[in-house]
Chain A
Amino acid sequence: MTATITTTLTVNGRQICKAAPAHLSLLRWLRDVAGVTDPKYGCGEGICGSCTVLLDGEPVSSCLVLAAQADGAAITTASGLLEPDGSLGRLQRAFHVTHAAQCGYCTPGMLMAAAAALAGSQRLSRQEIRARLHGNLCRCTGYGPIVDAIELAQDEAADDRGK
Chain B
Amino acid sequence: MTVGNDQAPSGIRTSKPDELHVVRQPLPRHDQAEKIAGSTRYAGDFAFASMLHARLVRSPMPSARITARDASAALAVPGVVAVLFGEDVPHNLIWVDVPGQTVEVAALKASMEVLTTDRVRFHGEPVALVVAETEDALAQACEQVVVDYEELPAVFEPDQALAAGAPRVHETGNLLSEWVIDRGDVDAAFASADVVVEGSYQTQPVDHAYLEPEAGVGWLDDEGVLNLRVATQVVEHYRDVARILGIPEARVRVIAPYLGGGFGGKEDMTVEPYLGLAAWRTKRPVRMQWTRQESLLARPKRHRMQLRYRTAATRNGQVIGQDIDITADSGAYAYLSALVLLYSSVHACGPYRVGNVRLRARCAYTNNPPTSAFRGFGGMQVVFGYEAQMDLLAGALGLSRAEIRKRNAIVRGDRLPVGQVIETEVLLAQAIDAALERAGDKPLPSGEGKVVGRGVACNLQSYGRCVWLNDSAAAWVGFQLDGSLSVRCAVPDVGGGQASSLAQIAAEVLRVPMDLITVHFGDSALNPLAGTTTATRQLLMSGNAVYEASSALRANVLRAVARTTGVPADGLALDEGLITGPGVAMALTEAIVLCRRLNVPIEALGTFFGPKGTPVVKNLQADRVFPDFTFGAHVCDLEVDLDTGGVELLAYVAAHDVGRAINPRSVHGQIAGAVAQGLGMALLEEVVVEEGVNLTAGFFQYLIPTATDIPDIDALILESGEGMGPFGARGIGEPPIGPPPAAVASAIEDALGVRPTRLPITPERVLHCIAAAGGGPLQEQR
List residues of chain A with CB under 8 Å of any chain B CB.
2, 21, 28, 31-32, 35, 37-38, 40-45, 47-48, 50, 77-79, 82, 88, 92, 95-97, 99-108, 111, 129-131, 133-147
Contact = CB atoms under 8 A, between A and B. Distances in A.
Main secondary structure of the interface of B (DSSP, over half): loop
B50 interface: no
Given A45-B700, A143-B676, A104 B32 contact: yes
A2 B211 contact: no
B211 A47 contact: no
Given A43-B698, A102-B496, A103-B261, A108 B38 contact: yes
Contacts of B710: 142-144
A28 B209 CA distance: 21
A106 B713 CA distance: 19
B708 interface: yes
A104 B699 contact: no
A59 to B, nearest CB: 14
B212 A44 contact: no
Interface stretch (B570-578, B666-674, B764-772): B666-674
B428 interface: no
A132 to B, nearest CB: 8
Interface string B349-373: 0000000000000000000000000
A42 B672 contact: no
Contact of A37 (B41, B136, B669): B41
B713 A144 contact: yes
Contacts of A133: 706-708
Interface in B641-687: 665-666, 668-669, 672-673, 675-677
Nearest to A93: B36
A84 to B, nearest CB: 14
A97 B39 CA distance: 18
Contact of B673 (A28, A105, A108, A142): A142
A40 B32 contact: no
Given A38-B38, A104-B35, A99 B704 contact: no
Given A104-B31, A105-B260, A136-B707, A144 B212 contact: no
A107 to B, nearest CB: 5
A145 B669 contact: yes
Contact of A130 (B32, B212, B708): B708
Contact of B289 (A41, A78, A99): A41
A102 B289 CA distance: 22
Given A37-B41, A96-B32, A103 B292 contact: no
A139 B36 contact: no
A136 B260 CA distance: 15
Contact of B672 (A2, A105, A107, A142): A142
Contacts, number: 170
A140 B713 contact: no
B28 interface: yes
B260 A103 contact: yes
Given A102-B496, A136-B707, A78 B37 contact: yes
A92 B36 contact: yes
A140 B261 contact: yes
Contacts of B136: 2, 21
Given A41-B289, A88-B36, A104-B32, A139 B210 contact: yes
B517 interface: no
B618 interface: no
A45 B673 contact: no
Nearest to A130: B707
Contacts of A111: 36, 38
B706 A88 contact: no
- The size class of the interface chain B forms with chain A is 35 or more
Contact of B706 (A44, A102, A134, A140): A134
A99 B210 contact: no
B210 A101 contact: no
A142 B494 CA distance: 16
Contact of B708 (A42, A134, A144): A134
A153 to B, nearest CB: 12
B673 A140 contact: yes
B38 A50 contact: no
Nearest to A48: B699
Interface in B282-302: 289, 291-293
A24 to B, nearest CB: 9
B468 interface: no
Interface string B32-76: 110111111110110100000000000000000000000000000
Contacts of B623: none
B263 interface: yes
A87 to B, nearest CB: 9
Contacts of A95: 32, 36
Nearest to B497: A102
A142 B23 CA distance: 24
Contacts of A44: 291-293
B259 interface: yes
Contacts of A88: 33, 36-37
7 contacts: A45-B292, A47-B700, A99-B668, A103-B35, A105-B211, A129-B707, A134-B706
B712 interface: yes
Contact of B669 (A78, A82, A96, A102): A102
A42 B293 CA distance: 10
Given A41-B44, A103-B212, A142 B665 contact: no
A23 to B, nearest CB: 8
Given A2-B136, A108-B38, 13 more contacts: A35-B47, A43-B699, A44-B292, A50-B211, A77-B38, A78-B37, A99-B29, A103-B35, A103-B258, A104-B495, A106-B211, A106-B260, A139-B261
